[in-house]
Structure 1
Amino acid sequence: MKHRLSHLNFNDIEIPELNIHSFEMGDYLLEVDYNDHKGYVFDDNDNIVKFKNVTQVKEALNECRVKSAFLVHQSAYDEMCGAADKGDNELKVEINFNH
């Protein structure tokens, strides 16, 4: 499921959960759960929206209401040190998304 950034930032929109995924080279990708559909956020040209920091995400969604927000990072630690793969190395930390 894709969500359009231009359709989310309105004061009558409430997003139950928002995940900001820390990605390669300092990019952050935004995944939202809206209208019972979880998906990444795209622009009107069908390109995934990339942010440089959490502040940019907050500014992009300054009108809507976010109930809970998380910063999500996938660690490659096990792979880097040659340890056995544990499966899911996701770190998910709740952040304050109040405007």
Structure 2
Amino acid sequence: MNIQQLNEMAAAGRINELEVLSLEGGFYVLRAFTGDGPLSLHDEHGEVMRLRSTTEVRQVLADTPTLPCWLVQHVVHDEMCGLRDGPLAPLRVPLSMDRPW
């Protein structure tokens, strides 16, 4: 899905929420959740768009209708060290598109 498709789907109410995945290497991937499942945002070459900051995420989504948005980061340290018992859930923090902080 490209940014135009994202905006059209959001305007039509077909997107439930957005996730900004924080990945190893210092970049972010944007995923939109629809009734059919998650869709990643792609660039003009059809590659998954790699964003370098939450500021860049806000710039890319500037014309997108307001949707619930979450910054998601998996806790790799817990997985590597095995310090916690039970299932490991990622950290999910609300991400505002209006305010940088």
Q: TM-score, normalised by structure 1?
A: 0.77
Q: What residue in structure 2 maps to residue 24 of structure 1?
A: 24
CA contact (8 A) 1:78 1:85 kept: no
Q: What residue in structure 2 maps to residue 46 of structure 1?
A: 46
* Structure 1 unaligned blocks of 5 or more: none
CA contact (8 A) 1:22 1:71 kept: yes
Q: What residue in structure 1 maps to residue 71 of structure 2?
A: 71
2 CA distance for matches of 1:59 and 1:73? 20
Of Structure 1 and Structure 2, the greater strand share is in 1
Q: 1:4 aligns with which of 2, 7, 22?
A: 2
Partner of 2:16, secondary structure, is strand
CA contact (8 A) 1:17 1:33 kept: yes
> What RMSD, in angstroms, separates the aligned Cα atoms of the two structures?
2.3
Instruction: Quote the offset at 1:88 in angstroms.
Output: 2.7
2 CA distance for matches of 1:55 and 1:16? 22
Instruction: Quote the offset at 1:69 in angstroms.
Output: 0.6
Worse-superposed segment, 77-86 or 66-75: 77-86
Q: TM-score, normalised by structure 2?
A: 0.76
> Aligned pairs, how many?
95
Q: What residue in structure 2 maps to residue 90 of structure 1?
A: 90
Cα 1:70/1:84, change in 2 over 3 Å: closer
1 CA distance for matches of 2:85 and 2:50? 29
1 CA distance for matches of 2:64 and 2:4? 11
2 CA distance for matches of 1:49 and 1:85? 34
RCO higher in structure (CA 8 A, sep ≥6): 1
